[in-house]
Amino acid sequence: MRIVRDSLAGTLESSDALVRVSPTDGGERDVSINSSVMAQFGTQITEVVQDTLDKMGVSQGQIVVEDKGALDCTLRARVQAAVLRACADEATGTTDASTSVDWSLL
């Protein structure tokens, strides 16, 4: 998916994560993760975020994750919500990808 605008998903509450996505002028996908539980779960959190982005085909853009101890399922959901909000839907040509989702990719 192609990131075309800034977006935001989630919250800074405990057990959640706030995810920001921004378009970039070319370049690689740039992921920054900060977590209140980085020491124990940093590797796993990074894997979940990267895997979620891989499956959605996000190859560019800046992704910032502020994690507050979210479970994997929450993290996945927030990353996907932020990406969908930031994307144009290439399949339908509409600007909003969040209403027409290919669930098998999620």
Partner 1 sequence: MSHDHRPHPDHSSSRAPARMPHRSMLFIPASNAAMMSTAYIYGADAVMFDLEDGVALREKDSARLIAFHTLRSKLYAGVETVVRINPLDTPFGPADLEAAVRAGADVIRLPKTETAQDILELEERVAQIETECGRAPGSTRLMAAIESASGVVNAVAIATATPRLTSIALAGFDYVVDMRTTRGDGSELFYARCAVLHAARYAGISAYDVVFSNVDDEAGFLAEVEVIKRLGFDGKSLINPRQIDLLHNAYAPTQAELDRAHLVIDAADRAAREGLGVVSLGGKMIDAPIVEAARRTVRYADASGVRR
Partner 2 sequence: MLEEIDLSTVTPGVDHTEMDAVAQFLASHDLDLDGDLDIILVARHFGELIGCAALAGGIVKCVAVAQHAQGLNLLPHLMTELSYIAHARGHAHLFVYTKPRYQDLFTSCGFHPIVAVPDQVVMMENTPRGIRGYTEDLRNYRRIRDKVGAVVLNANPFTKGHQHLLREAARDCDYLHVFVVAEDASYFPFTDRLALVRAGVAEMSERDHIHVHPGTTYVVSKATFPSYFLKDSGLVDMCATAVDLLIFREHIAPALGVTHRYVGTEPFCRVTRQYNTDMHYWLERRDLPPSFAAPVQVVEIPRVAAGDEPGSQAISATNVRRLLELGDLDQLRPLVPDPTFALLAAKYAPDAPPPPQRASTRPC
- According to CB under 8 A, which residues from 9 to 68 bind partner 1? 9-11, 13-17
The option from partner 1, partner 2, none interacting with 22 (CB < 5 to 8 A, set by class) reads partner 2
HEC profile of the chain? CEECCCEEEECCCCCCEEEEEECCCCCCEEEEEEECCHHHHHHHHHHHHHHHHHHCCCCCEEEEEEECCCCHHHHHHHHHHHHHHHEECCCCCCCCCCCCCCHHHC
Give the one entry of partner 2, partner 1, none that residue 64 binds, where binding means its C-beta sits below a cut-off of 5 to 8 angstroms depending on kind: partner 2
Residues that bind partner 1 (CB under 8 A): 9-11, 13-17, 70-74, 76-78, 80-81, 84-85, 98-99, 101, 103-104, 106
